[in-house]
Amino acid sequence: MFLEAKNIHKSFANHTALNDVSIQVPRGKVFGLLGPNGAGKTTLIRIINRITMPDQGEVIFDGAPIRPEDVARIGYLPEERGLYKKMKVGEQAIYLAQLKGLSASEARKRLKKWFEKFGIMPWWDKKLEELSKGMQQKVQFIITVLHEPPLLILDEPFSGFDPVNAELLKREILELRDKGHTIIFSTHNMASVEEICDNIALINHSKVVLQGNVEEIRSHYRSGIYEVAGVCAEALTTCADYEVVNHHRVGTVDHYQLKKADALTNAELIRLISEKMDVRLFNEKLPTMHEIFLKVVGESE
């Protein structure tokens, strides 16, 4: 584990933000921190960043309790974006990189590379307020990753990005992961979770209600719904082994949605239906993270 939060408690004046929260973030993976607004995600992120101190519990960073110096090895993109509006883009990027421990010359060198990559080199000497929103977002992302931290914490990174730039950002995130960076990624955009995250923790009402590998979670929440299509010799009808939920026909091909009985295995189901049709499509419909999210959060309400 690259980062572990152990039994974190944190309460503010009149509410509990985190109640016995533990998460394990494996090295070199993208870890999704999910949960509805106000669940305590940002508080947990701030605790990992050492911006706030937990009332109880500890954070283990790279095998040892986190130390103040470790913040230089973390890159943080807060949900509320913000930079100095009146300061020149290049200048403030160098300043913030220096605060993360880079030398000014090294920061300048790396910045040039990033600015060229994102095509914003001409804006180096412009004040931030002169940039478009999308460009400001890019600058902010560059600042977050410039010191090449082993741990990146991105709080709602896609908010405010148009689809083209969101795609660009997604590629960058996956590229960083492939280079060995560990990424904690907080969001309520479930589509991006399936595409990007390897592991997730779902926080609701200050508690972790679901945690684990995305594929494992999805198969854990499988609902036994299958999509089947083929040319039928005999129409499928509800029986002891499965229930026909839906049926429609396109040309000579029949499309079915079946709900399988729990006892039956996939192999048995295929065998059963292939007796009645020439199967062209067999697809187990795994629940989307969106559905799981709604289900789990709904249950815990």
Q: CB 69 → another protein: shortest distance, Å?
A: 11
State yes or no: residue 87 binds another protein (CB under 8 A). yes
3-state secondary structure the chain: CCEEEEEEEEEECCEEEEEEEEEEECCCCEEEEECCCCCCHHHHHHHHCCCCCCCEEEEEECCEECCHHHHHHEEEECCCCCCCCCCEHHHHHHHHHHHCCCCHHHHHHHHHHHHHHCCCHHHCCCEHHHCCHHHHHHHHHHHHHCCCCCEEEEECCCCCCCHHHHHHHHHHHHHHHHCCCEEEEEECCHHHHHHHCCEEEEEECCEEEEEEEHHHHHHHCCCCEEEEEEEECCCCCCCCCEEEEEEEEECCEEEEEEEECCCCCHHHHHHHHHCCEEEEEEEEECCCHHHHHHHHHHHHC
Please list every residue from 88 through 117 that binds another protein, using CB under 8 A: 95-96, 98-100
CA atoms within 13 A on the CB side of 121: 9
State yes or no: residue 84 binds another protein (CB under 8 A). yes
Q: 61 or 76: whose CB is closer to another protein?
A: 76
State yes or no: residue 83 binds another protein (CB under 8 A). yes
Please list every residue from 195 through 234 that binds another protein, using CB under 8 A: none
Q: 68 or 163: whose CB is closer to another protein?
A: 68
Q: CB 228 → another protein: shortest distance, Å?
A: 51
Q: 80 or 299: whose CB is closer to another protein?
A: 80
State yes or no: residue 124 binds another protein (CB under 8 A). no
Q: CB 284 → another protein: shortest distance, Å?
A: 43
Q: CB 250 → another protein: shortest distance, Å?
A: 52
Site pattern 35..74 for another protein (x: CB under 8 A): -----------x--xxxxx--------------x--xx-x
State yes or no: residue 76 binds another protein (CB under 8 A). yes
Q: 87 or 209: whose CB is closer to another protein?
A: 87
Q: CB 68 → another protein: shortest distance, Å?
A: 8
State yes or no: residue 85 binds another protein (CB under 8 A). yes
Interface residue list for another protein (CB under 8 A) = 13, 46, 49-53, 68, 71-72, 74, 76, 78, 80-87, 95-96, 98-100, 143
